[in-house]
Amino acid sequence: IAFGIAYMILRYSVPEYQVSSKFFVKEKDNPFSLFESAGLNMGASGEMELENQMIILKSRPIANATLERLNFDVEYYKQGRFLETEVYQNTAIAVEVDWTYPQLTNGDLLIRWNDQQNFTVSYVEESYLQIFPDSDNRNKLENPKSPNQTFQFNKWVELPMNRFKVGLTSAEPSGEMIIRLRDRHGLINHYTGEDLQIASMDKKSTILNLTINTQRPEKGRDYLNTLQEVYLENELQEKNTMATNTIEFIDAQLVVLSDSLMFIENRLENFRSNNSIYDLSSEGTAIFEQLKELEN
């Protein structure tokens, strides 16, 4: 009985994988390095900086920028005998969602086709989460009614609670696939939650170990790679902004100094003109000789 239960669990449970990546965070120049060389302990500041970078990597803005580059807003599943298996890439259909339109999310939609021109859409879940564009309102909708009509591939599906376009990427004359729409707010919560873990490899190192739990290893790999790319680009943009601000500050100071020098030069020219002095050094020497004669 125990072996039978174990077999059933292993056979019909969706496997979960852990994808990991190592990420080197370059230490920023420390203004207290002079004091560190003198023997003062400033290690706490380095640890705090590393903690800050870990928080940034797991922040919502970075997750949002990462998801903007990935097509994670539509999940594809294939129905097995007992389980739904997620299919990532190389899917039989490709769905484009109009997120400027209200959508039913977090539930399965069955796409079925019997030829390469038309398909049907069925709501197979008892409840869905309805979201609205540019709004935080989310309503739970129970037992939505499936449309009694067919739709054409590569044409917008106009429904009261959904708007999307389905493209057929397979040569199969018939088939079916389950899609699940994921709103951005829910995706950000998922990829900044407990499934993503960030920790230091060693107390004395600045190498971070990023791990994520996922049912599709390829999907986890793509997210971690894109996350690190976004982080690096964000750091580069920050450095460029600092450099630009520094140059603008120097240029502004040069303008102020130029104005001051111009003002002083004008005063000097006026002094020379009013006193008929054009060579201060020679005129000063002559006056000094006259002064000596008067003293004698």
- Give the pLDDT confidence of 114-140 residue by residue, as tens digits: 998 999 999 999 999 999 987 777 888
Per the model's pLDDT, the better-predicted residue between 82 and 242 turns out to be: 242
Q: What is the pLDDT of residues 137-170, one digit of tens each?
A: 788 889 899 999 999 999 999 998 899 999 999 8
HSE of 101, CA atoms in CB hemisphere, 13 A: 16
The Cα 275–Cα 56 span in angstroms is: 67
What is the share, in percent, of the chain residues with pLDDT greater than 70?
A: 92
Per the model's pLDDT, the better-predicted residue between 133 and 204 turns out to be: 133
Which residues, including other chains, have CB under 8 Å from residue 195's CB and lie 6 or more apart?
212, 213, 214
Task: Say what the pLDDT of residue 60 is.
Answer: 93
- The gap from C-alpha 178 to its chain's centroid, in whole angstroms, comes to 28
User: Is residue 31 predicted with pLDDT exceeding 60?
Assistant: no
Encoded tokens for 125? 């879940």
Task: Say what the pLDDT of residue 266 is.
Answer: 85
Check if the beta carbon of residue 92 is closer than 8 Å to that of residue 167: no
Helices and strands, counts by H and E, the chain:
7, 15
Task: Say what the pLDDT of residue 29 is.
Answer: 57
The Cα 239–Cα 216 span in angstroms is: 35
Check if the beta carbon of residue 88 is closer than 8 Å to that of residue 70: no
Classify residue 87 by burial, with Cβ atoms within 10 Å: 0-12, 13-18, 19+.
Answer: middle
**Beta-bridge partners for 127:** 142
Per the model's pLDDT, the better-predicted residue between 27 and 188 turns out to be: 188
The pLDDT confidence band at residue 72, using thresholds 50, 70 and 90, is very high
Which residues, including other chains, have CB under 8 Å from residue 172's CB and lie 6 or more apart?
92
Cα three-residue angle 141-147-153, rounded to 5 degrees: 115
Q: What is the pTM of this model?
A: 0.75
Mean per-residue pLDDT of the chain: 86
- The gap from C-alpha 116 to its chain's centroid, in whole angstroms, comes to 37
Encoded tokens for 119? 């398909």
The neighbour count for residue 127, using CB atoms within 10 Å, is 13
The pLDDT confidence band at residue 85, using thresholds 50, 70 and 90, is confident
Per the model's pLDDT, the better-predicted residue between 86 and 29 turns out to be: 86
The pLDDT confidence band at residue 35, using thresholds 50, 70 and 90, is very low
User: Is residue 28 predicted with pLDDT exceeding 70?
Assistant: no
User: Which residue is listed with tokens 């539930």?
Assistant: 107
